[in-house]
Amino acid sequence: MDDIRTILARHGFSFKKKFGQNFLTDANLLGAIVRDAGVDGGTVLEIGAGAGALTRALSGAAARVLAYEIDSSLRPVLAETLSGCENVEVVFGDFLRADLAALEGELGEYRVVANLPYYVTTPVLMRFLEEAERCAGLTVMVQEEVALRFTAQPGTPDYGAVTAAIALKGEARITRRVPRTMFTPRPNVDSAIVRIDFERGRLPVVSEAAYRAVVRCAFAGRRKTLENNLMNAFRLPRERAREVLSEAGIADMVRGETLSPAGFARLADVLTARHVLT
């Protein structure tokens, strides 16, 4: 097969910035991503197939690959780059509009692999964190600073609502850094690959919605104490906010950004038990 750049040029393809089209071509890196994602048999849902270089690499290691691509002008390119990959199916459409429940019914258990534009990665990740039932985990290429946010420790500047949302469902780790020089065209940031493994019942909470509400409240005013944030978010008198914190085993002067995900879970359960949250 010709080089991806040659194929794209032959089809008169022009890169679209609005879709974050920075493609990978290096065979060693593509193989490393497939290994990092732990693809070994099984079903893969790839989001953002691009010119199909990663899709083709995934096809060699997976039993089945279902790939989404928003840009239908890539159809002839993908027909060429994926020719002979019998276990790959490409759906042209916006993944953010896909019916995830229906997709899961069809896929069974699967892993997600995605090299998406940075502004799409977080909404896509949140969909899997909040809605997915049969997803074993995600391996995503993200801007390096986003990778630090996904994997941050409590009390550090990178720790935030997304970190806590991930921690409710699984464990995230950076598997490798990817310099900007690996992409065509070259973006102006370096990237990293983050692997998130979902673990059923990892942080058991009575209500996931309550956990998310607590996390939102804790990071709403990063510089404020958790007590003040609880008072503002849930209209609690100071005395009641103190009682709730004490019942959850949390000191009153603590700031939300220093609380561990397990702390958010305890607090959510206390607020649920006291009918502040449902």
Chain residues in the site for ligand SAM (CB under 6 A)? 19-24, 47-50, 53-54, 68-71, 94-96, 115-117, 120
> Which is nearer to ligand SAM, 171 or 190 (by Cβ)?
190
What minimum distance in Å lies between the beta carbon of 30 and ligand SAM? 8
Shortest CB 139 distance to ligand SAM, Å? 12
Of residues 19 and 150, the one with the C-beta less far from ligand SAM? 19
User: Least distance to ligand SAM from the beta carbon of 101, Å?
Assistant: 18
Give the residue with the Cβ less far from ligand SAM, 120 or 152.
120
Nearer to ligand SAM, 78 or 166 (CB): 78
- Min dist. Cβ of residue 35 to ligand SAM (A): 15
CB of 10 to ligand SAM, least distance (A): 17
Residue with Cβ nearer ligand SAM (153 or 188): 188
Print the SS3 string covering the chain: CCCHHHHHHHCCCCCCHHHCCCEECCHHHHHHHHHHCCCCCCEEEEECCCCCHHHHHHHHHCCEEEEEECCHHHHHHHHHHCCCCCCEEEEECCHHHCCHHHHHHHHCCEEEEEECCHHHHHHHHHHHHHHCCCEEEEEEEEEHHHHHHHCCCCCCCCCCHHHHHHHHHEEEEEEEEECHHHEECCCCCCEEEEEEEECCCCCCCCCHHHHHHHHHHHHHCCCCEHHHHHHHHHCCCHHHHHHHHHHCCCCCCCEHHHCCHHHHHHHHHHHHHCCCCC
